[in-house]
Amino acid sequence: MAKRLLVAVALWALGGPAGLHHLYLGRDNHALLWMLTLGGFGVGWLWELWLLPGWVARANSTSEVHRDGRPPLSPVRFLGQALVGIYFGLVALIGLSTLPGFYLVALPLAVGLGVHLVSEVGDQSSDLQGTLTAAFITAPVFHGRSVAILPISLTTSVVAHRHRCYKAGRGTSEKLSIRLYRLGLAYLAFSAPLAHCAFSNTAATANYVASAIGAVLDWASVFPSLSGILESMLLLPYRAWKTLGFGGTYFQEWEKVFAFVQSFQSERQQMAYKILGLHSDATLDEINKSYRELVKHWHPDHNPHRAAEAERRFIEVQAAYELLTQMKKPKPAR
């Protein structure tokens, strides 16, 4: 049956974060990815509106396209592989970290499967065996450390990208019921350990999530604008839960995560004032004046005898200034 662009757009608008439009177009791997990441954390879903016409045309094509050679390098796909690998690793850390041998088996397996899922999106594929092998080889080097998620994800993404190739077939001709059954099993395998941990060991799960959010915000603190966006995205589930009016002991545990992030933000602001040598009620003019003086004082070109320290202080001053000016900006009238 021919696919219609209007139907694809409607499914994109109504159930895009759940991958309904990909399911309609026979892109099951992409549908599963969107189911597990809520539309690529929202960003991928919004971007796809411009790609729908091409996907519909490809789904309606009757000719089989055989492509030789290797697909071109795609920084977007590589970034997606790394991010989803990290995401799968964090989910495994929350839901499966109590298992024996977690850092040698479950963690590299989760990260490798996340990377491979992105590799299978669209008309491309990769070598699952090579991707998982890279994950299992990297894991022992960082055994017992949560930070292992990052190097494992990067290593497996590089290996998956090196083994990229085009798929032999254009799509699937299986019945919808079989496809839904397979997607349901994959979704259950992903979410069941996480749901069990979240409801049976709420306090530990909240601590894991708070630590993960804190680590991400700490890494992004050099770019205050990016940090603010990440904070809003990471706390979106909490705010949605609060808006719906849920409460009880379970919700009280998750309020601690919000309090942690809020205190983290407050500490960053205090540190920014300290870096600029200002008090907490400084005006925007005072912030601008202090910034100009410190940038001039710590500019690396003016400090060749202490270049490393000057570069570090210069970056700190710029980050502090951006954070405080963003905070002092007048809110748009509603």
Confidence of residue 304 (pLDDT cuts 50, 70, 90): confident
Return the structure tokens found at 326.
Answer: 């963003």
Q: Which residue has the higher pLDDT, 194 or 245?
A: 194
Spatial separation of the C-alpha atoms in residues 127 and 125, rounded to whole Å: 7
pLDDT digits (tens, 9 = 90+) for 202-229: 555 555 555 555 555 555 555 555 555 5
Q: In the prediction, which pLDDT does 260 show?
A: 53
Contact 257, 210 (CB under 8 A): yes
Close Cβ partners of 333 (under 8 Å, ≥ 6 residues apart): none
Spatial separation of the C-alpha atoms in residues 175 and 326, rounded to whole Å: 53
Question: Among positive and negative, which fits the CA dihedral 81, 82, 88, 91?
Answer: negative
pLDDT digits (tens, 9 = 90+) for 84-130: 998 898 888 877 877 888 889 999 999 999 999 999 998 889 999 99
Spatial separation of the C-alpha atoms in residues 9 and 25, rounded to whole Å: 11
Q: In the prediction, which pLDDT does 231 show?
A: 56
Q: In the prediction, which pLDDT does 143 show?
A: 83
Kindly report the backbone phi and psi dihedral angles of residue 168, in degrees, each rounded to the nearest multiple of 5, phi listed first. -70, -35
Angle at CA of residue 150, ends 146 and 152, nearest 5°? 95
Spatial separation of the C-alpha atoms in residues 138 and 125, rounded to whole Å: 22
Q: In the prediction, which pLDDT does 278 show?
A: 87
Q: In the prediction, which pLDDT does 332 show?
A: 47
User: Would the pLDDT of 68 be above 90?
Assistant: no
